Structure 1
Amino acid sequence: MKRFLKGLFRFFLYVFLIVFLIALVAGGVYFGSVYMGVKKDFNKVVSVNMLPLPTKVYSSDKKLIAKFGLQNRIPVKLKDVSPWMRYAILAAEDARFYEHGAIDLVGIARALVVDVLKGKIVQGGSTITQQLVKNVYLTPARTIDRKVKEIILAYRIEKEMSKDKILQLYLNTVYFGDGAWGVEAAARTYFDKHAKELTISESAMLAGLVAAPSYYNPYKHPQRARKRTIYVLRRMYENHFISLSQYKKAMNAKIVLIKPSANLFGLIVAPYFTDYVRNWLIDKYGEEVVYKSGLSVYTTLNTTLQRFAFIAVKSGVLSIKKKYDGLQAALVAMDPKTGYVKALVGGFDYSKSQFNRALQAKRQPGSSFKPIIYLTALTEGYLPDDTIADMPVVFRFNGKEWRPQNYERVFHGTVTLKYALTHSVNVATINLLNSVGIGNVVSMAHQLGIEEKIPHNLSIALGSLSVKPIEMVRAYAAFDNYGLLPKPIFVTKVTDKYGRVIYQAKPRLRRVFDDVDGYILTGMLKDVILYGTGRAARIIKRPLAGKTGTTNNYRDAWFIGYSPDLVCGVWVGYDDNRMIFKGATGARAALPIWIKFMSNALEGQPIKDFPIPRGITKDIIDMVNSPPQNPEDLQKDKPTIQQLYENAIQ
């Protein structure tokens, strides 16, 4: 039995030794091949031409409109960096940098213990040399090959370069957020000074950003940035980089940031548009890829239309206020067939305010919301020549009375739907809303892409809800498309630095309502321009459809309209919701901007009318093309206002 067990032991020992030798040889071959393969990568790390490639953004007419990443980098030598900055980055990232080799086993063990005790990843074990290698790799893939190469490269760098040279390279390649690559660019971006002039507290703040630049961004998250700065200062003191008195003084020092650059990240053309694209890219790929990987981004923007939009907004605002006083305007132009955003202006001056009102502002649409009510009525079987009451009416809610009025304080008795929409008759629209059902209209609005919560009451007939301009333009694009709702698209394609397509967008259209209803609604909105509140647009002399919008106390002015191939929406107002001016209707404040843009945009284009859907009857066509019927023709004996009030319904 003993002999059997002894033989069995020898057998397993031989097997183990053979497997071990095979693994050793395979491992040696693998590591040897990897080591030989990193020669090029080592040259890349130490090369002076190793700077990351910027992302380039192009318009639909193939013009370069923005670069993200390249401009904001200013290489410096270590001697031109404040000693406090050097100490701060060591304290924050690798306090034992000058004591260990490429890999810090003590640091890894300490980080592992802390992470286990905390139950989550709190500390990292990577040395500054390892981080330098990671900074040079433009795609942060987590693979075994990547990690092995990183370790080998780190050892080679430590062998071939001095610690000061490694730290210099690191400080010139690390990202500090807000588009600042390298310590010199960071010092100028946040403090408008050179890296050699940084104080202890300023250095601690910058060093704290490296771990998570967006999360600790001092402009967006000042409290997080402050906590991180305190952490770095404490680390500087604990590692004897600063004295106790210096620590206390730095803790109490006030850090003064400069105003963010108005030309942030190298924006060249259409700053509100390219700013949106930049944020979209960062959300999709991360800051590191966007600012370092040499992406090529192809957008929907047309630079000619964008120039027309910029001019229209600038001149339009200044025609309202000769001396600029903060009045804002937004414009969105979209191809209804594709959803491609062709032009976008988010405010009067990007350098003064980066808030993108075209995409972010939530404002009351006023009467520009009314077409959604009339569309709902059409889908419920109403026709343009059907009539609705325009009489004094009293609604009682919770013991309170509401007596809605028309803009001119005049009632017409009975009006057709076509007349009520053409002339933006408030009370008739409220009655129509009450008839078709608030729930049905709210449902239609949401189907048309309005995402905001809509009040469930009759006041939405006057546009009491909040919407973004881009949402209204998208809804009107569905009107233009006779029921097909497009998804707004800003970016059509993204390629990597090798030209490989990594993202491609295709138009997506969703059927919301029948094409006949779309044709009828467009005919009614054509009448707004031919006979109603938008008739100033007749100067363009081509088939157009649209609607004005005005809110209480003239706080918001809108005009949203379209040709068969282009939809454009304009909003005008103040950010603080004060009055634009007394009498600032959509026709007076927003429509002139729309006319200027559309006149230029459509100049030289073939004159096209809106198409007639297949299968539509001649009666419907005649009804759409006939002018709105005058209310006086509908009633012989028009009652007095007093009589109407006496008959007011609840």
Structure 2
Amino acid sequence: MGRADERRARQRGSHRGAPKRSSNAGGTASSTASSNATSHAGSATGGRTGGKTGAKAGGKTGIRRLFTWKKILGTFFGLCLLVMGAFVVLYLMISVPKGNAAAVQQSNIYKYSDGSTLARDGEVNRELVDLDQVSKGVRMTFVAAENKSFYDDAGVDFKGTARGLVNTLSGKGKQGGSTITQQYVKNYYLTQDQTVTRKLKELVISLKVDRQKSKDAILAGYINTSYYGRNAWGIQAAAQAYYRVDADRLSVAQGAYLAALLQAPSQYDWAVASDTSKKLVTARWNYVLDNMVEEGWLSSSKRDGMKFPVPKAPKGAPGMEGQAGYMVDAADNALMRQLVAKGTADDLEEAATMVKAGGWTITLNIDRKKQAQLEKSVKGQLTSKLDAKKRDIDADVQAGAVSVDPKTGGVVAMYGGVDYVKHYTNNATRSDYQPASTFKPLILAAAVEEEATTQDDQPITANTIYDGTSKRPVVDDGKKVGFSPPNEDDVDYGDVTVQTAMNKSINSVFAQMGVDVGMDQVIKTAGELGMDVENVKSVPAQTLGTMGASPMQMAGVYATLDNHGRKVTPALVKSVEHKDRTVEFPDAIGEQVVSREAADTVTSVLTGVVDDGTAKTSVRDNPARDGQQVAGKTGTSDCNKSAWFTGYTPKLVTSVGVFGEAAKAGTTRCGEEKPVKVKEFSQVTLQGAAGGGRVNGGGFPAQIWATYTFGVMGDTSKFDLDTDQGAAVRPSNTPTVTTPPTTPSNEPTSEEPTTDPPTSSAPPESSPEGTPSSEEPDPSTSPPPSSPGGGIELPGDPDDPQRDE
């Protein structure tokens, strides 16, 4: 084949290489013939091998031809040009709107369950101040906290905004990164909605505002429009709310706290912050000041001399006097949490901005008549008896209460304190005091639910006998666990049934029972019933109720028991209306969290506390009871810092707590311990309040409960119980004797366990309505006598209020 033939072969796109040309003329013919033969043979197999061979010969596959570097780069630059073009269009189309932060403010209206108005909260707590009224040092704390490049940037953090857009599209919520200008634009010109459209508007308007206004004007707008918590909008209101000074009197250290506060006002408010939150805001405060030193805005010597400026205690807002402020504040918090839960707001700070913007009509489950009766009961049974001029201790007494309908979960009445303006903290929802022995029923609930057994494998029932000796070491699998709790007044009870142990609130019995059940299971059951146990350790000491709890929580726990084990989450808010959005609240009645048998057994046992236990004087013998069946439990915490009674009828559950809170800094003592210096609002003893001795759960709390409940209960009712155990029903079996795993006392007790029901047990001797019984002897004057009938006579009730009279 000549060169022309080879060229034509290549042009035809033959997959075969051109045949080699012979080195002599004679070979040309034979070469051509060979080539033709090969061509024919190849045509037979070309369908199978031609494509593959051609790919190898041709070099690039179809995918590689489609995605070349040139095409990828071209597409990338094309998209960039498209985005830039779209941004130019947006920049031209979007103009800076008129400021709307103050113009669109509306009132929030709060209503009772019957539709009548409870309160109207519409005045925004804000006073605008010029930047020259704020010292330069304080100004720079905000710059150091939020945007160190504020005076040099163009008003936008493109990287942070891009991250925010991506997170919004992916549903991850918002991220930090906005400049001070962007935050000011969001506060003053736009809404708090987390949408792509709003973020794009924020970006464009921020660029324009940065060109139209001076940096000082933007900074002034930012610190005047931001929300600082405590219903304070703007730096002037914040200065008054946290330090009781005007903005021009703030120190750099105080300004750094306010600047740090903006990251999370609800979480970082020192008055209500948890220990973790206090550490976080302190770290944030240090971060702000360190940034100022780094930028040269604060000298190292002044920085080193600064101490954390603890804010003043909060004060209630004007117009929210009495109980109204507590209910409004609690309703706002409930709405905020629901906005976050539904994804309408990304966090509580954003939700607070939405709620405080106004326009809400919030109807509560509060019943006007029950609310009035609860307030009247607290005044009549407690606050009217306090006189701080005669007794300093009386100024330290605080009360809180929550009443819940167990069938609906609605909070029908709430007492937050003497006056929202005088005492800002809501005693009904605070969870910093120990619930003490009101926790004991939860241990029994866990025991029945899990069909737990004692150390010698006896089922735990209302009739199981435990050793009630004070300070008896708790044992697990034959080994001491290092916990030996004393009973109240260090009283030794000897062998008692679980029913009697609940009636008398015997610590040693329930400490051992908790270990028998398993503390992990006890804490789990407590959480299922409604207690906040997220950070509670599963240790035997928790059997004494040493974790924190609120009257709201305890009312929910006991309402779940009252509702036969179906979860009740107390609901203050009944419904919410707003012109721009709809917010639905979940059903307050949830799923079955413990069996009906377990819940009803606890209820049955708790009737014994009322009829033959620590609440009998205040509740059983109350002339207004009129045969009403009642279950409940008293509680008195260590050092008498809190006293509780949480009780219920088939129709109403109410938890009452009385707390010792220092009205001012001073000294206090617990028993014979040395005096301890305390700060204002610290927890202190209630001993001696109202001129009496120890404040027990069977005293003021139970008296408040009885006066309230019997004043609003209507027709009497009986519990519908699915159990054969406890004081509310006649026992169908004899007590189960469990041998104490250890006998720590030097002298053995004279009483022997008996197969007959102990005389101290509840019915059949006590009817459900509660027939009065004789008073038990006081252990301080006489030893526990033996029962002539072979039963077990017990010392007097340590939680009985008459013992201190």
- Distance in 1 (CA, whole Å) between partners of 2:90 and 2:159 is 29
Give the SS at the match of 2:655: strand
Q: Are 2:581 and 1:500 equivalent residues in the alignment? A: yes
Q: Are 2:432 and 1:361 equivalent residues in the alignment? A: yes
Give the SS at the match of 1:287: helix
Aligned-pair CA distance for 1:567:
0.3
Aligned-pair CA distance for 1:592:
0.8
Q: Are 2:710 and 1:599 equivalent residues in the alignment? A: yes
Aligned-pair CA distance for 1:227:
1.3
The alpha-carbon distance between structure 1 residues 63 and 101, as it changes in their structure 2 partners (threshold 3 A), is: farther
Work out whether residues 329 and 572 of structure 1, in 8 Å CA contact, stay in contact via their aligned partners in 2.
Answer: yes
Once the two structures are superposed, residues 305-324 of structure 1 have per-residue CA deviations (whole angstroms, 9 ceiling, x without a partner) of 34433443344333664431
Match of 1:114 in 2: none
Match of 2:282 in 1: 223
Aligned-pair CA distance for 1:231:
3.3
Match of 1:287 in 2: 349
Structure of larger gyration radius: 2
1:570 to 650, 653, 656: 656
Unaligned regions of 5+ residues in structure 1, if any?
2-7, 109-120, 643-650
- Distance in 2 (CA, whole Å) between partners of 1:200 and 1:422 is 56
- Distance in 2 (CA, whole Å) between partners of 1:465 and 1:84 is 45
* Alignment-mate amino acid for residue 97 of structure 2: N
Once the two structures are superposed, residues 117-152 of structure 1 have per-residue CA deviations (whole angstroms, 9 ceiling, x without a partner) of xxxx999573x4433222232225262x44442233
* Alignment-mate amino acid for residue 764 of structure 2: Q
Match of 1:111 in 2: none
1:629 to 764, 768, 775: 764
1:43 to 94, 97, 113: 97
- Distance in 2 (CA, whole Å) between partners of 1:93 and 1:48 is 21
Moved more, 307-316 or 367-376: 367-376
* Alignment-mate amino acid for residue 363 of structure 1: Q
RMSD, aligned CA: 5.7
Match of 1:476 in 2: 558
Work out whether residues 635 and 643 of structure 2, in 8 Å CA contact, stay in contact via their aligned partners in 1.
Answer: yes
Match of 1:318 in 2: 383
The alpha-carbon distance between structure 1 residues 434 and 124, as it changes in their structure 2 partners (threshold 3 A), is: closer
Aligned-pair CA distance for 1:447:
4.9
- Distance in 2 (CA, whole Å) between partners of 1:182 and 1:571 is 36
Aligned-pair CA distance for 1:299:
4.3
1:134-173 equivalences under 5 Å are 134-136=186-188, 137-141=190-194, 143=196, 145-158=197-210, 160-161=212-213, 165-173=217-225
The alpha-carbon distance between structure 1 residues 64 and 231, as it changes in their structure 2 partners (threshold 3 A), is: farther
Match of 2:89 in 1: 32
Work out whether residues 306 and 343 of structure 1, in 8 Å CA contact, stay in contact via their aligned partners in 2.
Answer: yes
Q: Are 2:789 and 1:638 equivalent residues in the alignment? A: yes
The alpha-carbon distance between structure 1 residues 86 and 387, as it changes in their structure 2 partners (threshold 3 A), is: closer
Give the SS at the match of 2:98: helix
1:181-580 equivalences under 5 Å are 181-198=233-250, 202-203=254-255, 206-207=258-259, 209-210=261-262, 213=265, 221=278, 223-224=282-283, 226-231=285-290, 233-234=292-293, 237=296, 248=301, 252=305, 259-263=312-316, 269-272=323-326, 274-279=328-333, 284=340, 285-292=347-354, 293-294=357-358, 296=360, 297-302=362-367, 304-318=369-383, 321-323=386-388, 324-345=394-415, 351-352=422-423, 354=425, 356=427, 358-363=429-434, 365-366=436-437, 369-370=440-441, 373=444, 420=500, 424=504, 430=509, 438-439=517-518, 442=522, 447-450=528-531, 451=533, 452=536, 456=540, 463=544, 466=547, 468=549, 469-493=551-575, 497-512=578-593, 515=596, 522=603, 525-526=606-607, 529=610, 533=616, 534-541=619-626, 543-551=628-636, 555=640, 556-574=642-660, 575-577=683-685, 579=687
Unaligned regions of 5+ residues in structure 2, if any?
1-6, 8-64, 162-173, 341-346, 389-393, 453-457, 661-682, 732-760, 767-772, 774-785, 794-805
The alpha-carbon distance between structure 1 residues 224 and 538, as it changes in their structure 2 partners (threshold 3 A), is: same
* Alignment-mate amino acid for residue 261 of structure 1: P
* Alignment-mate amino acid for residue 288 of structure 1: E
Q: Are 2:128 and 1:75 equivalent residues in the alignment? A: yes
The alpha-carbon distance between structure 1 residues 149 and 304, as it changes in their structure 2 partners (threshold 3 A), is: same
Sequence identity percentage: 23
Aligned-pair CA distance for 1:587:
2.7
Number of equivalent positions = 593
* Alignment-mate amino acid for residue 590 of structure 2: L
Q: Are 2:268 and 1:133 equivalent residues in the alignment? A: no
1:610 to 718, 727, 738: 718
Moved more, 388-397 or 84-93: 388-397
Once the two structures are superposed, residues 334-385 of structure 1 have per-residue CA deviations (whole angstroms, 9 ceiling, x without a partner) of 11123233333355666447274654134253377358638956996999x9
Work out whether residues 554 and 584 of structure 1, in 8 Å CA contact, stay in contact via their aligned partners in 2.
Answer: no
Aligned-pair CA distance for 1:598:
1.6
Which has the larger helix fraction? Answer: 1
Aligned-pair CA distance for 1:594:
0.5
- Distance in 1 (CA, whole Å) between partners of 2:253 and 2:307 is 8
Give the SS at the match of 2:621: helix
